A and B are shown apart, each in its own frame.
Chain A
Amino acid sequence: MALDTIKISETLAAKWGARLGMWLEICARCGLCAKGCHFFQSDPRPEHVPAYRLKPLRQVLAAKGNISEADMAALVDTVYGTCTMCQRCTMYCPHGINIAFMVRATRALAVSVGLTPKGLASGLANALEMGNNLSITAEEYQETLDWQLEEVQEEMPEAACPVDQEGVRSMVTFHPRDIKFYPGNLYSYLKLYNAMGEDFTFTSQGWDSTNIGLFAGDDAAAGTLAGRVVAAGERLKVQRVVTAE
């Protein structure tokens, strides 16, 4: 299957900007960023120097998007496999180049031709389709809230678990694993929020504040996912949204 190089060029053009161009231009390949990277600190290989992660982007630019499948596979391995976008290297760069920003831009090129790594792609598909990345149903969600509230009430009889309450101060969101795999976390949140007398609510919609779209480098998906949390916060007219831990 040939790569859709037109798609790559279009994505590159959309991502292009003065900042990105300047950073590519001024990187002196001095290697100071290596000190900042846990990949390099743990396993000092040239491919683990953060500046190396700009190589695929340069390659795509030089080829005006027309790169081979092998080069594209190498791009995927470099920008997904060898960088967690932690931004530590930026603190060691004399120019303050944000390598993570460019890694994410490069990830977008892979996304544009459907080469998002499998694990990310499937979690993202779940999130888009089901409203959370672990495909938890509305019933499962509410049942878990009820169950953990009962548990907390044994310790704190007055504890409450408001859902979709409008006009409160804080809307508290989750990572889906809090519901599916670690309901004990939910117990802790309920205990803490009740103990501190916080004016809070959970929400039946837009409660997953993780964003796999952001990790994947898929801007459209990232916007959709973040937009759901924003919509929930707006609908409930809260003063603040508390992110997942």
Chain B
Amino acid sequence: MKRTLPFDVVSPMTVMAEAFREGRLKLKKHHYTEPVTFQDSCNFVRNGGNFKDARLLMGQVAGDFREMHPGGVHTYCCGSGGGHGLMSEYKKLRLATAKAKAEAIRRTGAKVVVVACHNCEDGIRDCVKEYGLDCEVHLLSNYLAEAVELGGAS
């Protein structure tokens, strides 16, 4: 039987975007200059419908943001979803089938891929390594934390 929870369940992206909209979270405008793209996660974006929050935050801190195609609800899985990050028995196949994702990243020309999901972090790291992409991979929280404007309400 379905149970009603006495609280809401939200993703960190939503919490940060909300604080940014309300002016509570100050982030340095275009703190980063290198080309960067964002990995939409299947759970947060395709199933959670949470597309705009990441754009709002990335648009603020990234001077050269590039959309991945396919992206949004059409995003390809990072390859590490559904428990694949933990099943070494299928790693070879997982890397072989990360090709579509690798090409999508390569087409953006980005030097950084920001991810907002730990599974994606592993999946994209493996993908970047396997296909020799010249990209760093960063977790959204880490990417934003470095761009936080501290000290007074500026």
Interface residues of A (CB under 8 A from B): 38-39, 41-43, 48, 80-88, 91, 100, 103, 117-120, 123, 155-156, 170-172, 175, 177, 182, 184-185, 187-189, 191-192, 195-198, 210, 212, 215-216, 230, 233-234, 237-245
Chain A residues with CB under 8 Å of B16's CB are: 192, 196
Chain B residues with CB under 8 Å of A215's CB are: 82-83, 86
Chain A residues with CB under 8 Å of B117's CB are: 245
Task: Tell me the B10-29 residues at the A interface (CB within 8 Å).
Answer: 10-13, 15-16, 19, 24-26
Chain A residues with CB under 8 Å of B42's CB are: 84, 86-88
A245 in contact with B8 (CB, 8 Å):
no
Chain A residues with CB under 8 Å of B81's CB are: 84-86
CB distance from B58 to the nearest CB of A (A): 15
Chain B residues with CB under 8 Å of A156's CB are: 150
**Cβ-defined partner of A192 (8 Å) among B8, B89, B148:** B148
A245 in contact with B118 (CB, 8 Å):
yes
Roughly how many angstroms separate A245 CA and B9 CA in the complex, as a whole number? 12
CB distance from B23 to the nearest CB of A (A): 10
In the complex where A170-B15, A240-B7 touch, is A195 in contact with B150 (Cβ < 8 A)? yes
**Would you list the 10 A-B pairs with minimal beta carbon distance, nearest first?**
A215-B83, A188-B145, A86-B77, A84-B81, A42-B99, A196-B19, A84-B82, A85-B82, A119-B86, A196-B25
Chain B residues with CB under 8 Å of A234's CB are: 6-7
Chain A residues with CB under 8 Å of B76's CB are: 38, 41, 86, 88
Chain B residues with CB under 8 Å of A184's CB are: 142
Chain A residues with CB under 8 Å of B79's CB are: 38, 84
A119 in contact with B87 (CB, 8 Å):
yes
CB distance from A108 to the nearest CB of B (A): 13
**Cβ-defined partner of B7 (8 Å) among A118, A191, A192, A238:** A238
Judge if B140 is at the interface, Cβ distance under 8 Å. yes
A88 in contact with B77 (CB, 8 Å):
yes
A192 in contact with B99 (CB, 8 Å):
no
In the complex where A88-B77, A195-B26 touch, is A81 in contact with B82 (Cβ < 8 A)? no
Chain B residues with CB under 8 Å of A212's CB are: 83, 86
B15 in contact with A118 (CB, 8 Å):
no
A243 in contact with B145 (CB, 8 Å):
no
CB distance from A135 to the nearest CB of B (A): 14
B15 in contact with A81 (CB, 8 Å):
no
Residue of A nearest to B146 (CB): A188
Judge if B154 is at the interface, Cβ distance under 8 Å. no
Residue of B nearest to A216 (CB): B83
B89 in contact with A117 (CB, 8 Å):
yes
Stretch of B59-67, B90-98, B105-113 contacting A (4+ beta carbons < 8 Å): B90-98
Chain B residues with CB under 8 Å of A119's CB are: 83, 86-89
Residue of B nearest to A86 (CB): B77
**Cβ-defined partner of B46 (8 Å) among A39, A88, A175:** A88
